[in-house]
Amino acid sequence: MTADPIQSDDILTAEDLVFHALAHRARRRMLDLLKMAPGMTVQGLASHFEFSRVATIKHIARLEEAGLLVSKKHGRSRLLYFNVMPIQSIYDRWTDEYSSFWSGRIADLQQRVEARAAARENKHA
Amino acid sequence: MTADPIQSDDILTAEDLVFHALAHRARRRMLDLLKMAPGMTVQGLASHFEFSRVATIKHIARLEEAGLLVSKKHGRSRLLYFNVMPIQSIYDRWTDEYSSFWSGRIADLQQRVEARAAARENKHA
DNA sequence: CTAACAAGTAACCTTTCGGTTACCAATGAC
DNA sequence: GTCATTGGTAACCGAAAGGTTACTTGTTAG
């Protein structure tokens, strides 16, 4: 590896970036927080963790590279938003590849999601 | 953190193990290979990669800790099998947590999975 | 029995990860 | 204008990840 003169194909694919970004518990938690409260600032997000603001910024960068987080400058603040699109792409790939293991499961899934949606409707009414 | 006398909760959850195991491209590829050809040996699996057999063994260990791979000794060989269960758990958690982002998508997903299953049926007939 | 073969372990090395502190730049409040 | 506040960068550090080679163990073949 160190003595290999030929450049190996270690280019990072989109899937690599997404899985890598999701590999850290704090980053998954960040997505949860941003999903619940879109438009948080960097400091607002950092306040939920024990590590420093700078560490938070680095995690944000990882999430942004993977496309899981988008941000918008607003004055001196930066507003953060969760973006589900890359996760949906991963879902598509894996449900295709592993479809033979999913027989009869997607229906349950749909039921749960619909039940959730209904519960939300009731709450709002 | 270094000066913190209180033990932080850095215990590894099942979700941590699964996401961590999936974070490496080669390990995801291994699951693909085992899904296509269940019961491969360690060497058979290692032959699909450029790195060494020992590196393969370490990857197998990571996958096994996460429950994504199970193995069965058979003589001097070790037969490897993919186990989808942990992934299904992750799916359940994420589809619950992110259900509000999934409106109208699960139906498409089910269609694709069913179409795949039908295609497989035809092939076998 | 002996030789080959599959799997696993040990020790080591380099790179990446995840964090820190210290400093810098831009913006908003007053 | 001054100064606090928000965000970002640089340099550094320890731990973990991911790989290697060398050696060991167990099992089948002949």
Which of A12, A49, A101, A108 should we substitute to test contact with B (largest number of B Cβ atoms within 10 Å)?
A101
Structural domain count of chain B: 2
Per DSSP, A101 falls in state G
Chain D footprint positions (protein CB, under 7 Å):
5-10, 17-22, 26-28
Q: What is the CATH classification number for the domain harbouring B47?
A: 1.10.10.10
Per the domain annotation, does B22 fall within a domain?
Answer: yes
- A95 and A122 assigned to the same domain: yes
For CA atoms A87, A88, A94, A97, the dihedral sign is: negative
Per the domain annotation, does A12 fall within a domain?
Answer: yes
Per the domain annotation, does B48 fall within a domain?
Answer: yes
Please enumerate in sequence order all residues whose Cβ is within 8 A of that of B60, keeping only pairs 6 or more positions apart, or say none. Answer: B30, B42, B45, B69, B71, B80
- What end-to-end distance do the CA atoms of chain A give, in Å? 62
Residue type, B44: G
What residues of A are in contact with residue B96 (Cβ under 8 Å)? 112, 116
ipTM tops the 0.90 cut: no
- B58 and B106 assigned to the same domain: no
CB A21 within 8 A of CB A27: yes
Cβ contact A19–B19 (<8 Å): yes
d(Cα B47, Cα B44) in Å, to the nearest integer?
5
For chain A, give the percent of residues with pLDDT over 70: 82
pLDDT-based confidence at residue B9 (cuts at 50, 70, 90): low
- A73 and A35 assigned to the same domain: yes
Please enumerate in sequence order all residues whose Cβ is within 8 A of that of A15, keeping only pairs 6 or more positions apart, or say none. Answer: A89, A90, A93, B25, B28
- A21 and A71 assigned to the same domain: yes
Which residues sit opposite A107 in a β-bridge? none
Per the domain annotation, does A2 fall within a domain?
Answer: no
- B40 and B96 assigned to the same domain: no
Per the domain annotation, does A1 fall within a domain?
Answer: no
Using the structure block, give the residue that is written with the tokens 């290979």. Answer: B33
Which residues sit opposite A79 in a β-bridge? A72
pLDDT for residue B13 is more than 90: yes
- A11 and A65 assigned to the same domain: yes
- A34 and A55 assigned to the same domain: yes
Of the three residues B68, B83, B98, the one that is the final residue of a domain is B83
Per the domain annotation, does B4 fall within a domain?
Answer: no
d(Cα A64, Cα A82) in Å, to the nearest integer?
9
- A41 and A51 assigned to the same domain: yes
Q: What is the pLDDT of residues A98-113, one digit of tens each?
A: 777 777 776 776 777 7
For chain A, give the percent of residues with pLDDT over 90: 59
pLDDT for residue B42 is more than 60: yes
- A15 and A58 assigned to the same domain: yes
pLDDT for residue A114 is more than 90: no
Of the three residues B49, B67, B83, the one that is the final residue of a domain is B83
Closest nucleotide over all strands to A75 (CA to C1'): C27
Q: Note the pLDDT of residue B123.
A: 64
Residue type, B106: I
Per the domain annotation, does B3 fall within a domain?
Answer: no
Domain that holds residue B14: 9-83
- A31 and A90 assigned to the same domain: no
How many other CB atoms are found less than 10 A from the CB of residue A62?
18
- A68 and A16 assigned to the same domain: yes
Which residues sit opposite A85 in a β-bridge? none
What residues of B are in contact with residue A95 (Cβ under 8 Å)? 109, 112-113
Per the domain annotation, does B61 fall within a domain?
Answer: yes
- A74 and A96 assigned to the same domain: no
Please enumerate in sequence order all residues whose Cβ is within 8 A of that of B34, keeping only pairs 6 or more positions apart, or say none. Answer: B40, B45, B69, B80, B81, B82
Half-sphere exposure of B116 (CA within 13 A, CB side): 19
- Nearest residue in chain A measured CA to CA from B25: A16
Which residues sit opposite B82 in a β-bridge? B69
B3 touches strand C (CB under 7 A): no
